[in-house]
A and B are shown apart, each in its own frame.
Chain A
Amino acid sequence: RKEVEQDPGPFNVPEGATVAFNCTYSNSASQSFFWYRQDCRKEPKLLMSVYSSGNEDGRFTAQLNRASQYISLLIRDSKLSDSATYLCVVRRTTPLVFGKGTRLSVIA
């Protein structure tokens, strides 16, 4: 079993839609949690850290449920520019452990 599991998608949604991505992790010792965004043939970039209390950054909301070992990302009012692969990431010690990513295409 992979340490971080994500639905690979693709998710094809119209502009303005709300879309949610889910992720589970297997190692209960994981300490830090993130969502990274990766555009086609580009490097991953940090979208947001994820905290147990939940956190929001504009149209993006991330949630962490440590008991269920579950992480989510909600994108409201999707824009064409949100089209990318969203990588769920956990960290137990120093190296990051990435999921396969969920591909999002926002369609006009």
Chain B
Amino acid sequence: DTGVSQNPRHKITKRGQNVTFRCDPISEHNRLYWYRQTLGQGPEFLTYFQNEAQLEKSRLLSDRFSAERPKGSFSTLEIQRTEQGDSAMYLCASSLALGQGNEQFFGPGTRLTVL
């Protein structure tokens, strides 16, 4: 499968625990994005990388959230001290950086439930 992959697909955790999600983009894509989607809403942008550089962060990305892409390939998103409001689908997408019209391809998402 050459699409975007995300692991785990589901995560259930207790409030206050830390969680980490992984995203593997399409191999030739140098841009990688994280979005969050809650029930009944469209995805909301969190952050994106071009290669290993984190170029933009949304104000939704509180200081409990950190994302990395150390070698410019896969990325991790960590949430520290999870809260019930963090329950959502976390979507990763990747694209090429050339031009403005390049399609963002989404992975299947990691569904987080905080009890």
Contact = CB atoms under 8 A, between A and B. Distances in A.
Contacts, number: 47
Tell me whether chain B's interface is mostly helix, strand or loop, or mixed. Answer: loop
A43 B106 contact: yes
B40 interface: yes
B111 to A, nearest CB: 8
Classify chain B's interface size. Answer: 20 to 34
Classify chain A's interface size. Answer: 20 to 34
A44 B106 contact: yes
A91 B104 CA distance: 11
19 contacts: A31-B100, A32-B101, A43-B108, A43-B109, A44-B43, A44-B91, A46-B103, A46-B104, A87-B42, A91-B100, A94-B31, A96-B33, A96-B35, A96-B43, A98-B43, A99-B42, A100-B42, A101-B41, A101-B42
